[in-house]
């Protein structure tokens, strides 16, 4: 009888566990700042701090055609961060120092920011029309 009760409890516990892919994501708005360029366009900026506002569920949205400047810092370890789809990297990023990835958001879609050291997805960049 105890084995049946334990098995039923285990099935209930497992069935109540949520699938990690179905949880809500966190969307973060970038900051828009004026640039000094002759075309008077704006630059959208976002600072990503590993371990604070990072994670695969962290989505940062930008508008297609905008100038984007991502500042990335890992206060806990040396790193190298890569933006998939645009194939841009911070290069070697010493612990606690800031790396910057700048680009024109000319491709729509979702793009992963990933640590080359840990292979962890640090954020998703969403470029929308």
Structural domains of the chain ordered from first start: 25-128 (2.60.40.420)
Sheet holding 42-49, edge to edge: 31-34, 42-49, 67-73, 98-104
pLDDT at position 18: 36
pLDDT at position 118: 96
Q: Which residues of the chain have pLDDT under 70?
A: 1-41
Alpha helices in the chain (DSSP H): 2-16
Question: Is 74 buried (19+), middle (13-18) or exposed (0-12) by CB count in 10 A?
Answer: buried
pLDDT at position 41: 61
pLDDT at position 24: 47
* pTM (predicted TM-score): 0.71
pLDDT at position 13: 35
């Amino acid at each position: 009888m105890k084995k049946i009760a334990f098995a039923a409890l285990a099935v209930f516990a497992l069935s109540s566990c949520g699938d990690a892919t179905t949880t809500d994501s966190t969307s973060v708005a970038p900051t828009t700042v004026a640039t000094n360029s002759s075309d008077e366009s704006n630059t959208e900026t976002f600072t990503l701090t590993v371990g604070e506002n990072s994670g695969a569920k962290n989505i940062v949205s930008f508008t297609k055609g905008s100038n984007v400047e991502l500042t990335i810092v890992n206060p806990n370890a040396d790193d190298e961060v890569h933006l998939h789809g645009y194939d841009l990297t911070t290069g070697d990023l010493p612990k606690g120092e800031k790396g910057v990835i700048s680009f024109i958001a000319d491709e729509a879609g979702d793009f992963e920011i990933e640590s080359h050291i840990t292979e962890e997805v640090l954020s998703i960049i969403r470029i929308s029309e």
